[in-house]
Copies of this chain bind each other. A is one copy, B any other.
Amino acid sequence: MLKGVEVAKHNSAKDCWVIVHGRAYDVTEFLPEHPGGQKIILKYAGKDATEEFEPIHPPDTLDKYLDRSKHLGAVDMATVARAKEADAASPDEQARQRRIAEMPLLEQCYNLLDFEAVARRVMKKTAWAYYSSAADDEITMRENHAAFHRIWFRPRILVDVANVDFSTTMLGTKVAMPFYVTATALGKLGHPEGEVVLTRAAAKHNVIQMIPTLASCSFDEIVDAATDHQVQWLQLYVNKDRAITERIVRHAERRGCKGLFITVDAPQLGRREKDMRSKFTDPGSSVQATAGHATDGSQGAARAISSFIDPGLSWADIPWFRSITAMPIVLKGVQRVEDVLKAVDAGVQGVVLSNHGGRQLDFARSAVEVLAETMPVLRARGLQDKIEVYVDGGVRRATDILKALCLGARGVGIGRPFLYAMSAYGLAGVDRAMQLLRDEMEMNMRLIGATTVADLGPDLLDVRSLGSHATTPADALAYAVYDPLVNPPQRPAEAVLPSAKAKL
């Protein structure tokens, strides 16, 4: 068994060992290939990297990507210096522990927004930064939710709503509620068990979970966590190496996935500055060495995990996907009606109107606005039943779901809110979040005067202001750069008193 001191000797770019989960690995040759850059690995050269490694990599990562010959075997962890002790005692971490000790009871969370507010207080700063960050000035992220607030209801009265039923069908699967758990990366940043927590909650409430390519758990762990008849979909980042992609897709179909959601809005993963800022560590004396390098590896979790994604993916690839799977294919990240029409022509079964939670292109429009642009065109061409249209981004309330369905969406994807519920309260949190949505759905179906989702139509909405972007979103200029307009200040009394007195 290896000793800590032995591992610690291999602590440079030319000879780099790291410890993960009690085993040592020689990653010297792998360094240049690491999608997240060398820098982050070198930080742990000769040390235990488990805590950093864990949430970002599925457990089978090292087996898959590092040659067996580099697996050096078990380390006697008692002999390894625990570098992170200091962290636990840091003032920031102590304050966080206090906030955790004082966090509200789960029953005090009355809506999905509550979970976000609690999670913000109790999550680790870097984890919160990764989940909550978005592109550039985060304008699209906020717009995603705000757009729902420009849609108003025209409810029907005196409808018998003693019984309301908001179950529906998605890609042929009957679901209890018209939403699904959309794919989000790195679930272990928020909860030690990762995505399987969402699997269990989805099972309990009979909604579909979309499994992310970039999960912290391995794909099989997530599928294994499902119940017998539970339906899951696969979200796919397309690899530059199509063989890998094919392997992933075929495996997913074999394991029973019922839908293939190909992400099309992320040829390159977005720059999320909050995430980058949260990762920044003062280089100390080596300031000059790195100055000017804008593209070093420490650009936050998003950049670290994305270098394999193929920016060359195009419409020409769709038939190939058709050829390798019988799963329904859905394009995730469509952002204009022209591309929805192309999707129909391409013969896919569905589209998700989405801007990736505002994490890719800032000033992309909200999915719900694109939906309002799309459905009338589909209906005018008689295509509304040729393709299932989903939306995600900004959904927090049952009223948001109802708005999307009235406009013509088959269902909505919900991501961050469940992540936050999981991060703050674990499975019980996600369970309650879904239960609250169910309560809100029942209430609001009644109040809008609809007994089934078939009753939901555009006449129940007033969307005249949806396309209005007259309110200018603010960015940091407003807060940190523009001087406030001022009037002349008072003058020190001593200086002016005599003349002022004379004047009065």
**Choice from B145, B156, B428, B500 contacting A101 with Cβ under 8 Å:** B500
Least distance between A497 CB and chain B CB atoms (Å): 5
User: What residue in chain B is nearest A314 (Cβ atoms)?
Assistant: B160
Say how far A389's CB is from chain B's closest CB, in angstroms: 15
Q: State whether the Cβ of A292 lies closer than 8 Å to any Cβ in chain B.
A: yes
Kindly provide the distance from the CB of A198 to the nearest chain B CB, expressed in whole angstroms: 16
User: Which of A38-46, A55-63, A206-214, A466-474 faces chain B?
Assistant: A466-474
A3, chain B: closest CB distance, angstroms: 32
Interface centre among A152, A277, A317 (most CB of B within 10 A): A152
Question: Are A487 and B114 within 8 A (Cβ)?
Answer: yes
The residue in chain B whose Cβ has the minimal distance to the Cβ of A466 is: B469
* Contacting residue for A158 out of B282, B291, B313, B490, CB 8 A: B313
> Which among B103, B480, B487 is the interface contact of A491 at CB below 8 angstroms?
B103
Residue A70 is within 8 A (CB to CB) of chain B in the complex: no
Number of copies: 4
A245 at the interface (CB under 8 A from B): no
Known A274-B483, A470-B465: A488·B149 in contact at CB below 8 Å: no
Determine whether A383 belongs to the interface, using a CB cutoff of 8 Å to chain B: no
Q: Which of B106, B138, B464 contacts A482 (CB 8 A)?
A: B138
Are B152's CB and A264's CB within 8 A? Answer: no
Supplied contacts A102-B500, A480-B487, 9 more A-B pairs, CB within 8 Å? A113-B475, A116-B481, A118-B488, A120-B481, A149-B475, A152-B469, A158-B314, A465-B469, A469-B470
Which residues of A are in contact with B by a Cβ distance under 8 Å? 98-111, 113-114, 116-118, 120-121, 132, 136-139, 142, 145-146, 149-162, 264-265, 267-268, 270-271, 273-274, 276-277, 280, 282-285, 287-288, 290-296, 310-318, 331, 333-336, 338-339, 342, 360-365, 396-397, 399, 403, 428, 431-432, 435-436, 439-440, 442-444, 446-448, 459, 462, 464-465, 467-473, 475-493, 495-497, 499-501, 504
